[in-house]
Amino acid sequence: METARITGERISQYLSQGKRFDGRKPEDFRDIEIETGVSKRAEGSARVRIGKTEVIVGVKMDVMEPYPDSADRGNLIVSTELLPLSSERFESGPPRFPAIEIARLTDRAIRESKFIQMEKLCIKEGEKVWAVYIDIYSLNDDGNLMDAAEIGAVAALKTARMPKYDEETGKVLYGEFTEKKLPLQKEPPIMVTAYKIGNSWIVDPTLEEEDVSEAKVSIGATPDGVISSIQKGEAREIDIKEFEDVLDLTERVRKKVFKEIEKYSD
Amino acid sequence: MTAKTFKRPDGRKAEETRPMSAKVGVVPNADGSAMFSFGDTVAIAAVYGPRKMHPQHSQNPEKGTLRCNYNMLSFSVAERARPGPNRRSTEISKITEWALEPIVMIKKYPNMVVDVHIGILQANASTRCAGINAAALALAHAGIPMKELVSSVSIGKMDKTLVVDLVKEEEDWEEGEGSTDIPITLTNSGKITHLQLDGKITSAELKEVLKLAKKANREIYEVQKKALKESIKLN
């Protein structure tokens, strides 16, 4: 069911006084819970809950030919499936735009921040490199799947271990893991998406709030404030001044989110 | 390499766009059409509609639908692109819709659809920007009521130096902090309808980027305006 207009008007009215239905302030995230190692078969995995929103992310690895424009670096492939089991709104079939958007934005946040040290995933230049697959599935959609997906991807990468590789046969020995972790940078990119409702900006919307939002800005950046990816979404224009305020807002929120995530790091 | 030593491969100044050209009415069958180019990046756009949305269950009784389709022709790039939609083109199509919808009075067309088809004939970076510029012209040419035009440009940060209207070679540049690509679409009154970024940047630098985009957009607007005026003269 879509959110009724009367609910939207109420959400907007409340927000003009800085209030939200669930008692949060505009800049508050819901509680974030991260569970890692949720799939024994995956090289790395994580389940992330933000309020009632939940995603599961798995990292699998394979050896393949590098892309021609990055002959000495590993490959990154991110995909997202919005499972019909996670919402009455999702249908099976090829990915539609919302799934593509989550996959592409997660891909860019991770790729552009150079979080994975791709140059260390080269086996033989131009011939064989490691490919890192990040597969994201929704388990329950109550808004903000975008940020949950990216946080899940980072958490799954952090736990990932390299599988064994037989150089002679050129085959990956699946199921046999080495002790070696995936080579990562210290600072993870974190995605924070700000949503505009009426004249207010919020983060981490519930599904109702997401429905009535008219513009959004997703920003992937490390906790020290270096931005690696941005995308403005939805068909409502925003002022330059407003955009600058969003940069400041997301920077404050990102620091808090990072602290929450850090709790789950080993 | 330090900031000052970055030289643009085509010898342009940092704030200079490639030579632009725009022409309206390039597809006679369409209700509106236009070509826009930045140097050898060439985009054409054709508008069909407003017409009844089919199938019926896709109709929106509250407002019309603006539907964009960005398509890179297979021979527009050095290595043949696989024809047909992919994740990148699906995203750019949506981004283009979002960039244009705020200026189009689409509310006036309940149950109807306006289709904007964009084809990239030749690519040397900034294809989505050229596509958006062409699409804005094509919509105006089709006589769809609009509040104003939008103009789109890519700003690049090469290590620490900001440049306007990237070419492929600049996009792939890897010295220092490497290349950061920031395509931006602004309305002529200076509002952001589209902004994407890939690379590495601080928010202070990003504020400079916006100033540069605003300046470049005014130049693009002049080119668009001229093309529209010329189209009227001919008829």
Residue B138 tokens, joined? 């094509």
CATH number for position A257: 3.30.230.70
Bridge-partner residues for B151, per DSSP? Answer: B186
pLDDT at B1: 41
Three-class DSSP category at A37: coil
Pair type for strands B41-52 and B112-122 = antiparallel
Residue A1 pLDDT: 66
Do A235 and B97 count as a contact with CB atoms less than 8 A apart? yes
Round to whole Å and give the CA distance between B52 and B113: 6
Q: State how far the Cα of A34 lies from the Cα of A36, in Å rounded to an integer.
A: 6
Smallest CA-to-CA distance from A237 within B195, B183, B93 is with: B195
Domain that holds residue A224: 11-262
Q: Do B203 and A104 touch (CB under 8 A)?
A: no
Tens digit of pLDDT for each residue in A18-65? Answer: 999 999 999 999 999 999 999 988 999 999 999 999 999 999 999 999
CB-CB under 8 Å, B196 with A225: no
Q: Report DSSP state, residue A2.
A: P
Q: Is beta strand A227-233 parallel, antiparallel or unpaired with respect to A215-221?
A: antiparallel
In chain B, alpha helices (H): 87-100, 127-141, 168-171, 203-234
B165-169 mean pLDDT = 95
* Pairing, β B65-72 against β B112-122: parallel
Residue numbers in A near B94 (CB within 8 A) = 97, 101
Q: Do A247 and B206 touch (CB under 8 A)?
A: yes
Whether A5 is in a domain gets the answer no
Handedness of CA B119, B121, B125, B129 (dihedral sign): negative
CA distance A175 to B47: 54
Q: Which chain A residues are Cβ-neighbours of B101 within 8 angstroms?
A: 235
Residue found under tokens 């799934």: A99
Of A183, A216, A184, which is closest to residue A101 (Cα–Cα)? A216
For the stretch A209-241, pLDDT in tens is: 999 999 999 999 999 999 999 999 999 999 999
- The answer to whether residue A223 is domain-embedded is yes
Contact A240 B214 (CB under 8 A): yes
Q: Does A100 touch chain B (CB under 8 A)?
A: yes
Chain segment A127-181, per-residue pLDDT in tens? 999 999 999 999 999 999 999 999 999 999 999 999 999 988 888 998 888 999 9
Contact B171, B156 (CB under 8 A): yes
Biggest CA–CA distance in chain B, Å, is: 59
Task: Specify whether the backbone of B89 is left (phi greater than 0), alpha (psi in -120 to 50) or beta.
Answer: alpha
> How far apart, in whole angstroms, are the C-alpha atoms of residue A151 and residue A155?
6
A203 class by beta-carbon count within 10 Å (0-12 exposed, 13-18 middle, 19+ buried):
buried
Secondary structure of residue B187 in the 3-state scheme: strand
Residue A2 in domain: no
Residue B226 near residue B22, CB atoms below 8 Å: yes
CA-closest candidate to residue B136, choices B66, B84, B85, B197: B66
Residue B77, chain A, CB below 8 Å: the answer is: no
Neighbours of A58 (CB within 10 A): 22
Contacts with B, A 240-259, CB within 8 Å = 240, 243-244, 247-248, 251
- Collapsing DSSP to helix, strand or coil, A47 comes out as strand
Q: CA B36 to CA B14: how far, in whole Å?
A: 21
Task: Give the pLDDT mean for B118-135.
Answer: 97
> Which token pair is A129?
């490199």
| pLDDT at site A175 | 82
Judge if ipTM > 0.85. Answer: no
Per-residue model confidence (pLDDT) at position A70: 92
Given the structure tokens 């931005």, which residue do they identify? Answer: A227
- Please name which of B231, B185, B230 lies closest in space to residue B210, comparing C-alpha atoms: B185
Residue B235 pLDDT greater than 60, yes or no: no
* Residue A142 tokens, joined: 């109550």
Using CA coordinates, name the residue in chain B closest to A243.
B192
| Phi, psi (deg, nearest 5) at residue B234 | -65, -35
Q: Given a cut of 50, is residue A203 above it in pLDDT? A: yes
Q: Give the alpha-carbon dihedral of B8, B11, B17, B20, to 10 degrees.
A: -130
| CATH C-level class of B3-234 | alpha beta
Look at residue A2 in the predicted model and tell me its pLDDT: 85
Average pLDDT over residues B69-87: 91
For strands A128-140 and A75-81, give the pairing: parallel
pLDDT at B2 > cutoff 90 = no
Tokens standing for A136?
A: 């994201």
Determine the average pLDDT of the residues in B21-46: 96
| Average pLDDT score, chain A | 95
Give the start-to-end residue ranges of the domains of chain B.
3-234
R_g over Cα of chain B: 18
* Number of domains chain A contains: 1
Asked if B102 and A235 come within 8 Å (Cβ–Cβ), the reply is: yes
Which of A205-219, A224-238, B59-73, B74-88 shows the lowest mean pLDDT across its residues? B74-88
- CA angle A4/A210/B57 to nearest 5° reads 55
Q: What is the pLDDT of residues B36-51, one digit of tens each?
A: 999 999 999 999 999 9
Cβ–Cβ under 8 Å, residues B63 and B102: no
Nearest alpha carbon to residue B17 among B223, B228, B180, B225: B223
Give Cα B60 distance to the centre of its chain.
Answer: 26
Q: What is the mean pLDDT of residues A105-124?
A: 97
Q: B182, B69, B174, B190: which is closest to B131 by C-alpha?
A: B69
